[in-house]
Amino acid sequence: MAELAGKVALITGGASGIGRATALLFAREGASVAIADMNKEGGERVVEEIGSAVLFEHDDLTKAADCKRVVNRTLRQFGRIDILCNCAGIIRRATVVELSEEEWDRVMAVNVKSIFLLSQLIVPIMVKAGGGSIINIASGWGLAGGPRAAAYCASKGAVVLMTKAMAVDHGKQNIRVNCICPGDTDTNMLRDEARQLGEREGHFLAESARRPLGRIGRPEEIARAALYLASEASSFVTGTALVIDGGGLAGSA
């Protein structure tokens, strides 16, 4: 029995990485899927992979007009939105001294503002429908600091607490709001970090794997956690920050 049969999911950042894996899994589990991403080529490939009950919008989700467009198109095509999965995210590896104002603003806009803009539009839709599930992709670095990642850590910490605040605000409306805090996961963004830091990719990935399970995560593993939070299996779960990091934070104070 498909866990998301009859559901409609809007997934940001769905053209690659965790967002792509989530879109593919949700579609296999019976959901109609709307994907929003700035990566046009990648988004169109995911649409081809899914094949049916799917749409792609080439949007900049830091802009209110683009958020309205993808929400309205999803409603026109599928009639409802039951699940919002905010996977869109970027990282800039730099200290506060090294960051430019523009870089700070862009990280905060993509990682935090986009969640605010879409939630502002979609929560009322879920209220009218009797409930829904919002899943935000945060990070282990939203719970603990990391080197040369000031803007990223700040943005993901904001996602964690925005998730909890929204869970408090909207629980009575049967809207569950949770976030996932992945550790290093095998995505293009992780490899881009190596380039930003001027490190050899192989060395960087090997260092990233230094955690109790001895490896980095796979996007599909994070997607399975998103499926849990989207489905009835987590019907009494809201306001949680689910850490999936191979034990990376297990020894943290």
pLDDT tens per residue, range 13-66 = 999 999 999 999 999 999 999 999 999 999 999 999 999 999 999 999 999 999
pLDDT tens per residue, range 69-128 = 999 999 999 999 999 999 999 999 999 999 999 999 999 999 999 999 999 999 999 999
162's CB contacts (< 8 A; 6+ apart) are 112, 115, 116, 136
Looking at residue 27, its pLDDT comes to 98
Residue 173, judged by CB atoms within 10 A of its CB (0-12, 13-18, 19+), counts as middle
Pick the catalytic residue: 78, 141, 152, 204?
152
Extract the tokens encoding 115: 């969640």
Report the helix count and the strand count for the chain, using DSSP H and E: 9, 7
Indicate the average pLDDT of the chain: 97
Confirm whether pTM is higher than 0.95.
yes
Domains of the chain with CATH codes: 8-185+218-243 (3.40.50.720)
Evaluate if residue 253 carries a pLDDT over 70: no
Q: What value does the CA radius of gyration of the chain take, rounded to a whole number of Å?
A: 17
pLDDT tens per residue, range 123-170 = 999 999 999 999 999 999 999 999 999 999 999 999 999 999 999 999
Looking at residue 252, its pLDDT comes to 80
Q: Catalytic residue at 228?
A: no
pLDDT tens per residue, range 89-100 = 999 999 999 999
